[in-house]
Chain A
């Protein structure tokens, strides 16, 4: 309290008396030789009643102002300022003080007990910022106050950061009170917004952050950095509205964002928090089965998803055959999936873009965490290298879990096998001044596994990138990224030492991305830029292994090409109801030696119309092009899949999607309802001829067939973002079918008719729910029901070569039984004892609570005499787990 008295005493030093000299009507409006008291009294009665003044008794200056009534106030305030007064407007009320601003803000560091006002470097940093908004109920002036109030609009920009760690806050909604303007902070916590000049109220809200409303007086363009506090869960009544609001503000559709807090709550097999597994719980996303990290978005295949991890492309997002994804939950911040409206800055894949972002390190102090799970142990460290300027975050995981493979089914191809992996993430951020940030990211992962002693498989991912984010001006900013991605995969088979070999494939790519954002007035935001990716693919190197091996070394020709694209997009906010996004992208594959032209335009359009604050409708249309194919004929994403570039023999995939949706938010902005429907066509998706040889095949294209894909579906979702009970329920009806494009007579797959794609699962019901008893204890449930996936099964048998052989049905014309699973978890968060050195959180859960034997595949074997049907179930029983996390 003693600090507060200090603050009050600042104001009490001054006082002023007021006089008024009213002028007869008809004459010029104004005062003549009035002292301060008179002037203020005049303003009170004639213009505004809400003027308060603390008079400086030593001030005996008199004021004469004769201007038209409309300009009077402005003129009077200018006169006052010239005489050393300050004028502050709060909620239409004017406070006039001698010499100093009203301190509507407590001194920085006020809440830090027993500490000097400016103690840490971070607080000092905050204090040094031009305008750092920490506290509400203060009026902030943006731009030059002395510039004439010309009306119109001004652009305000800045960073939103976490008050305690200094990390940029991503996806925070920034909006005008009246709802006429809305934006979100980007991956750097940066926002930019056009506001009407004058007094206004700007709201900030974000997931698990306390809402913030700031009073602004905008005179012109300027910067406004904001720090926000994490919400303390025991506070009741705080309403976070950002997620809901964004639904109604942008014209983008089909965007799902999942934050790490939620990811950690969703129960998964073995209790390892997994971003990709959570993506699978979103509507419109399916997988072919458990232990499949490949996912299918709106009827697309797994290779049609662009997976970006800090801008780098991930070609194989799996550890251990898909039991885990390679994103370390301690390091990542959020995942964002674009399944319908894909911004023009992205391209290269048909179905979706999954952006996974890691966090920036804590800029205030070094901290870390240690995690113990059933499969992995994890360690992460983060903190400042140079306080408040340079931060780092480092995370690593390793396995100790070969035991798990002894539990896997005999037919799963890896019982008795061995598997291990390691991965390391490193992120470094460096602030250069207020307008530039440089990020460096590195990622390395290595997987090794074997089915038997003689055959080992290994693959690794390496990603490195350097990103420069620069704000040229209030309206113009740039992100430039360069990087290198590498995926290598190898097999070593030494079963017979005379035939022992190694087989290696790889994808290496160098990329550069240059993206700009430019605000044009308050209605248009332009995005433009160029992307280039230089591919270097090794489709296969086959070499002898060991001295005795007689294997002929064969290296297939490397495939090199440059994928270049440029794009231009515009976000056009017509008014508070109507807005559009239009994007145009030209992409092209330049492949030396190819005669054909592989390139073309891509169009991204979407529009939104808000019926009212909580109801909107949207529609969109996209075209996409993909220049790289994954070669695989197993339904799962398997480590043995290889990648091939499009070219003369293998045309690029092209596709379009049309979608429309209806969105409504109910119950104080806590319940979002949405319906989205889509129709999608893809051409030149590859499927395989019977008996196709996919490995080391120089004439691969002859073994492939070109298919077209037709998908459609409707997704219903109810999502509760806040409250003790939160989560979502979604139901999807969708179909995805393929048809061979070429007529090869009797050889045509399924006679040239439409057939089910391997991931066509029409009915799909998902529930993800979390209930918080207190801020420490919560339970989570995850429910998943879907139609069984299509399979090709035997429909006949015959004797041949002394054994019983099988005749198979048309491709994918039967289905495995339906899939149903319920998972539960109990999450115990650490107590909020500030003094304790470590905080422990504990997750206890059970995967597949009902123990249902969900089929992954059905298959038939013949032992030479009879045919037997089998069903493979990957996780056929309850899997209890515990996961312990220590934060320090």
Chain B
């Protein structure tokens, strides 16, 4: 009899849920003001360098003073044999009108020389160390692998170089994807004024059904072959996409830029990755600040963030077609039923409420035109979801 009681009790107790992660945003303003230098000296290519100051946690815009310093900063790249590469951004009256950035043409630079970046402003002269270019190695293959449960897809890279000591790799990925509006529209509404407008037929090339979007992957992707017997990576995972990710809805195209870097650069990127992602778990390492390789010659104690390397890059791009892969599962909300409208009196309020027409509606029995289907604009016009109608030149049909 006692045993039965015990079993009952155990069952009752085994239902506890224990732990959780909560949002937590204490009122810490923090501080901004560290100079950020982002970019690489890419031999044999055009390259960008961007300057910024770090923001406090509550800043929403860069302060005027810092902006002034950034905007008045001058930069150039020099080599160890007196060569000098000027910033190509045009200078109007001493102020760069573009974002404080540098654009350098190193297409003809000699890979056997050492290079460095020099930034000059009222806070001092900042330099990166002299470095020789490191070639990027080869990208052998870009592929993908879908997890067993079908919910995620890994983008994999195979690459090699021929350094007997092994290499430290980093990749950046620019992804482009095609996606479609929910509703194929062959008509649209053009408003001539607040009280007037008309439904017009749209030529096939102008229709707002197919869109393309582009973004940079925010992940920090690095790998090392120092521990391997060969300077070669096979199917190394770069990042993953979830099966609800619209990027995979039609055609997805990652373009991978590969770089190799010295060990301290690798450590810098690893640390940055760890600090932005891998903290707060039970056994996570404690975050800590890590300096890059930029030094203010006039104030060596100044903390500058960023690592400027000298390198060449290699690129590779693939197109992943969901109609063949069959990975994507839409998680978009079901469409609301369309309104069928048939007069300007009805069109105008709908239009000003953010709706657009798609197709004509006919009476199935009589074949009489009843009006037009009207949908919320973001179901009809794919641009409302961030993309453009401009098809990339290399995009497959």
Footprint of B on A, CB under 8 Å?
291, 321, 372, 374, 403-404, 407-414, 495-496, 498-499, 501, 542, 550-552, 554, 633-636, 638-640, 688, 690-691, 693, 696, 745-747, 758, 791-809, 811-812, 814, 840, 842, 844, 853, 855-865, 867-882, 884
Q: Which residue of A lies closest to B216 (CB)?
A: A802
Cβ of B370 under 8 Å from chain A = no
Shortest beta-carbon distance from A751 to chain B in Å: 10
> A858-B24, A859-B280, A869-B25 are contacts. A811–B288 as well, Cβ < 8 Å?
yes
B272/A552 in contact, CB under 8 A: no
A501/B227 in contact, CB under 8 A: yes
Give CA–CA (A550, B235) in the complex, Å.
12
In terms of DSSP, what is the predominant structure of the interface of chain A? mixed
Give CA–CA (A802, B173) in the complex, Å.
10
A874/B282 in contact, CB under 8 A: yes
Would you list 27 pairs from A and B whose C-beta atoms are within 8 A, ordered by A residue? A498-B236, A550-B230, A550-B232, A550-B234, A633-B285, A638-B282, A639-B283, A690-B290, A691-B290, A746-B291, A793-B28, A795-B30, A795-B56, A796-B30, A796-B54, A798-B55, A807-B34, A811-B288, A812-B286, A814-B28, A844-B9, A857-B281, A862-B218, A872-B281, A873-B22, A877-B17, A880-B13
Cβ of B284 under 8 Å from chain A = yes
A871/B281 in contact, CB under 8 A: no
Shortest beta-carbon distance from A841 to chain B in Å: 12
Give CA–CA (A50, B268) in the complex, Å.
93
> A802-B216, A803-B276, A876-B20 are contacts. A808–B287 as well, Cβ < 8 Å?
yes
Give CA–CA (A541, B9) in the complex, Å.
47
B16/A551 in contact, CB under 8 A: no
> A410-B21, A858-B280, A872-B280 are contacts. A551–B228 as well, Cβ < 8 Å?
yes
Give CA–CA (A796, B36) in the complex, Å.
12
B229/A746 in contact, CB under 8 A: no
A871/B227 in contact, CB under 8 A: no
B286/A811 in contact, CB under 8 A: yes
Task: Choose, from B84-92, B176-184, B299-307, the stretch at the interface.
Answer: B299-307
A881 proximity list for chain B (CB < 8 A) = 13, 16
- Across chains A and B, which 9 residue pairs bring their CB atoms closest together, nearest first? A859-B280, A864-B218, A803-B218, A795-B30, A871-B24, A802-B216, A638-B283, A413-B281, A498-B234
A801 proximity list for chain B (CB < 8 A) = 38, 172, 218, 220, 269, 272
Give CA–CA (A877, B22) in the complex, Å.
13
A321/B233 in contact, CB under 8 A: no
A554 proximity list for chain B (CB < 8 A) = 227
Given A792-B287, A801-B172, 19 more pairs with CB closer than 8 A: A409-B21, A552-B229, A634-B282, A690-B291, A691-B290, A796-B30, A796-B32, A800-B306, A807-B34, A814-B28, A853-B20, A863-B218, A865-B218, A872-B280, A873-B19, A873-B22, A876-B18, A876-B19, A884-B6
Give CA–CA (A842, B13) in the complex, Å.
14
> A811-B288, A861-B276, A869-B26 are contacts. A796–B16 as well, Cβ < 8 Å?
no
A407/B18 in contact, CB under 8 A: yes
Give CA–CA (A750, B46) in the complex, Å.
39
B135 proximity list for chain A (CB < 8 A) = none
Cβ of B31 under 8 Å from chain A = yes
Cβ of B76 under 8 Å from chain A = no
A840 proximity list for chain B (CB < 8 A) = 2
B291 proximity list for chain A (CB < 8 A) = 690, 746-747
A802/B282 in contact, CB under 8 A: no
Give CA–CA (A446, B21) in the complex, Å.
30
B290/A857 in contact, CB under 8 A: no
A812 proximity list for chain B (CB < 8 A) = 286
Give CA–CA (A263, B21) in the complex, Å.
31
Cβ of B23 under 8 Å from chain A = yes
B10 proximity list for chain A (CB < 8 A) = 372, 882
A403 proximity list for chain B (CB < 8 A) = 14
Give CA–CA (A238, B121) in the complex, Å.
84
B24/A870 in contact, CB under 8 A: yes
B237/A800 in contact, CB under 8 A: no
B54 proximity list for chain A (CB < 8 A) = 796-798, 807
A412 proximity list for chain B (CB < 8 A) = 19, 281-282
> A795-B28, A796-B54, A798-B34 are contacts. A862–B20 as well, Cβ < 8 Å?
no
B228/A552 in contact, CB under 8 A: yes
Shortest beta-carbon distance from A497 to chain B in Å: 8
B24 proximity list for chain A (CB < 8 A) = 855, 858, 869-871
Shortest beta-carbon distance from B8 to chain A in Å: 10
Shortest beta-carbon distance from B42 to chain A in Å: 15
A880/B16 in contact, CB under 8 A: yes
Give CA–CA (A407, B289) in the complex, Å.
33
A791 proximity list for chain B (CB < 8 A) = 286
A696 proximity list for chain B (CB < 8 A) = 227
B305/A792 in contact, CB under 8 A: no
Give CA–CA (A496, B233) in the complex, Å.
10
Shortest beta-carbon distance from A344 to chain B in Å: 36
Most chain-A Cβ atoms within 10 A of its Cβ — which of B31, B271, B275? B275
> A796-B32, A801-B38, A867-B57 are contacts. A875–B19 as well, Cβ < 8 Å?
yes
Interface membership of chain B positions 225-262, coded 1 if the CB is closer than 8 angstroms to chain A and 0 otherwise: 00111101111110000000000000000000000000
A795/B57 in contact, CB under 8 A: yes
Cβ of B277 under 8 Å from chain A = yes
> A691-B290, A870-B21, A871-B22 are contacts. A414–B282 as well, Cβ < 8 Å?
yes
Shortest beta-carbon distance from A74 to chain B in Å: 66
B19/A800 in contact, CB under 8 A: no
Cβ of B191 under 8 Å from chain A = no
Give CA–CA (A372, B282) in the complex, Å.
27
A874/B19 in contact, CB under 8 A: yes
Cβ of B279 under 8 Å from chain A = yes
Q: Which residue of A lies closest to B219 (CB)?
A: A803
Shortest beta-carbon distance from B38 to chain A in Å: 5
Shortest beta-carbon distance from B50 to chain A in Å: 9
Shortest beta-carbon distance from B125 to chain A in Å: 17
Shortest beta-carbon distance from A464 to chain B in Å: 29
Give CA–CA (A792, B290) in the complex, Å.
13
Cβ of B141 under 8 Å from chain A = no
B360 proximity list for chain A (CB < 8 A) = none
A636/B14 in contact, CB under 8 A: no
B217 proximity list for chain A (CB < 8 A) = 802
Shortest beta-carbon distance from A635 to chain B in Å: 6
Shortest beta-carbon distance from B200 to chain A in Å: 37
B281 proximity list for chain A (CB < 8 A) = 411-413, 857, 872
Cβ of B373 under 8 Å from chain A = no
A871 proximity list for chain B (CB < 8 A) = 21-24
A794/B30 in contact, CB under 8 A: yes
> A551-B227, A808-B288 are contacts. A795–B31 as well, Cβ < 8 Å?
yes
B56 proximity list for chain A (CB < 8 A) = 795-797
Shortest beta-carbon distance from A190 to chain B in Å: 41
Interface membership of chain B positions 52-86, coded 1 if the CB is closer than 8 angstroms to chain A and 0 otherwise: 11111100000000000000000000000000000
B233/A498 in contact, CB under 8 A: yes
> A691-B267, A858-B26 are contacts. A799–B301 as well, Cβ < 8 Å?
no
Give CA–CA (A797, B55) in the complex, Å.
5
A758 proximity list for chain B (CB < 8 A) = 286
> A633-B286, A807-B305, A814-B28 are contacts. A408–B172 as well, Cβ < 8 Å?
no
Give CA–CA (A691, B269) in the complex, Å.
10
Most chain-B Cβ atoms within 10 A of its Cβ — which of A413, A499, A639, A868? A499
A868/B23 in contact, CB under 8 A: yes
B269 proximity list for chain A (CB < 8 A) = 801
Cβ of B105 under 8 Å from chain A = no
Most chain-A Cβ atoms within 10 A of its Cβ — which of B172, B227, B237? B227
Give CA–CA (A413, B57) in the complex, Å.
26
> A499-B236, A800-B306 are contacts. A792–B282 as well, Cβ < 8 Å?
no
B236/A805 in contact, CB under 8 A: no
Give CA–CA (A806, B288) in the complex, Å.
10
Contact of B21 among A411, A798, A799, A803 (CB under 8 A): A411
Shortest beta-carbon distance from A375 to chain B in Å: 11
Shortest beta-carbon distance from B155 to chain A in Å: 13
